[in-house]
Amino acid sequence: MFGRICIADLKKLIRSKTYMIWTFAFPLVLGTLFYFAFSTIYSSQKSETIPVVIEVTDGAINEYKTLEAFSNLDKDKISEDFEEYYTEKATAEAMGETFNKEEPLSEEVVDNIEAVKNYEDMKDFNLDLFPYEYLKCDRSQVDNISAADLPFIKVIEDLKYDEGTKMVKQVQVSSHEEAENLLSDGDIAGIITVDSMTDIHLLVNGNGVKHSILSTIISEYKLEVGKAIDTINNDNSNLEKSDEIMDESTESIDFIEAKKMAGENKDPFVSYFYNLIAMVAIMGAMASLSLIVNSQANQSDTGIRIDCSPTVKLIHELAQLTAVVILQTVIILFTLTYLIYILKINFGGDISYIYLTTFLASLVGDTLGFMIAHFGKLSGDKKEAILMVIMLGGGFLSGLMYGDMKMIVEQKAPWFNRINPSAVITDAFYSLNVFGVGPRYYRAIMYILITSGIMLLIGCLLSRRSSYKSL
């Protein structure tokens, strides 16, 4: 029975001109129009260097100085000098002579050096107690270390797009206030504060692709530095070559994610295509609403016929919902395929995850219509009106008509972005596209599933009404 109803409703939907025009033809036309509208802008677009202010604290410079100092500490020479000292001292004592020579290093210095067992000990070392006379290099090499020598700064300076354009540009400022002013004016994309090798913070004023790139650069950098520190800590002997390990690890970071994000997703208009997909997904609500309303006795004559039958109402409605889900999935995947393979829209990220996200997105729309269809005694027209308000209003607030709207909502009422079906869907695409398959994407998918689940549950509970007060 379930399958038969499902197939019949599939036929009804496929043969419904209104449904097919709005959910199938209209998005293809709109997508094509978007493509031609934006294509001229695409062609003139180049990779953009991201301006930032980088503030390096004294602590970070001292940390690197310590790293450099320990890496150049000639421990062999210390051992030799101590050996020579103790030999001379033993000889003098054996000969009964007075031995006045001072130890090569004071007991305190030796204890301090020996106490350094790992990277964290080294980081906290007081350089005032460092035996500079045992440096393999000139002391000035350590003393003269400045912010520019820090591995993070070198990495930032060297980071380039594939075509050679510098990815990040440092803007010099005289004070933090000046940096904050530049940030609030939008002249820089962020302020990066380097407190230590691993303690790097990003302050941004917004949430665009540039900010995401900076965030990803810092994350990838921290990840590699963390690995380097683990290498140093795992073997005590690595302390002596910690600068080498650190330099190697940071130089070898290829910033795949950041480059991918910058290279593939520099297109600011792709968000319009996400919203288009979100719109198609939400359109499924019209289909589920229409089918369910037509099976309710207080809404339609066919509903009276269905309600008079021995069929379990909920099973009937779930079969109808299944038909909508199947057809919407086909339509939305077709639309996506058209955008990716015919219009060559670069959605970035893993295609299979984009398809998966698209499928899940369609569930939000389908269950939205299912839920609204069960809203009390309202007439079908009123239910459609509610749906249109949610679809159009939600679409607007998720940025379909004005790209920055979602960000404005995020700042003013972040909770609304969690319950707005359009925003939940676009956020999943954005997360996938900008951050890849990771915690944020999984969170977005979780929101989609929770939203769909709640709407389905509400619909099921409301459908339990057995008879009506009036028809």
Tell me the window of 26-34, 75-83, 219-227, 301-309 that interacts with other proteins (CB under 8 A): 301-309
Our finding on whether 44 is near other proteins (CB under 8 A) is no
Nearest to 410 by CA among 274, 208, 275: 208
| Minimum CB–partner distance for residue 282 and other proteins (Å) | 22
Please report, as a single letter, which amino acid is at residue 372. I
Cα–Cα dist 348/200, whole Å: 27
At its nearest, how many Å lie between other proteins and the CB of residue 384? 17
Q: Does 1 bind other proteins (CB under 8 A)?
A: yes
Per CB under 8 A, the list member of 63, 307, 384, 427 interacting with other proteins is: 307
Q: How many residues bind other proteins (CB under 8 A)?
A: 30
Binding-site member from 112, 233, 311, 346 for other proteins (CB under 8 A): 311
Cβ atoms of 287 and 366 within 8 Å: the answer is yes
Q: How far apart are CA 432 and CA 206, in angstroms?
A: 19
Single out the segment in contact with other proteins by CB under 8 A; choices: 5-13, 28-36, 175-183, 367-375. Answer: 5-13
Partnered with residue 192 across adjacent β-strands are 54, 202
Least spacing, CB of residue 301 vs other proteins, in Å: 3
Give residue 309's identity as a one-letter amino acid code. Answer: S
- Taking CB under 8 A as the criterion, the residue among 29, 41, 90, 312 binding other proteins is 312
CA R_g for the chain: 33
| Residue partners of 420: CB distance under 8 A and separation at least 6 | 394, 397, 398, 409
- Interacting span for other proteins (CB under 8 A) from 3-11, 30-38, 229-237, 406-414: 3-11
Site for other proteins in 315-374 (CB under 8 A): 316
Selected binder of other proteins within 203, 228, 297, 434 (CB under 8 A): 297
Indicate the residue among 306 and 425 with the shorter CB distance to other proteins: 306
Burial class (CB in 10 A: 0-12, 13-18, 19+), 373: buried
- Rounding to the nearest 10 degrees, give the CA dihedral for residues 63, 64, 67, 69: -100
**Which residues from 89-148 bind other proteins, rule CB under 8 A?**
none
For the bound state, the minimum distance from the C-beta of residue 4 to other proteins, rounded and expressed in Å, comes to: 5
If residue 139 lies in a helix (H) or strand (E), which one and from where to where?
helix 139-143
Q: What is the DSSP letter of 101?
A: P
Q: Kindly tell me which of 266 and 313 has the beta carbon lying closer to other proteins.
A: 313
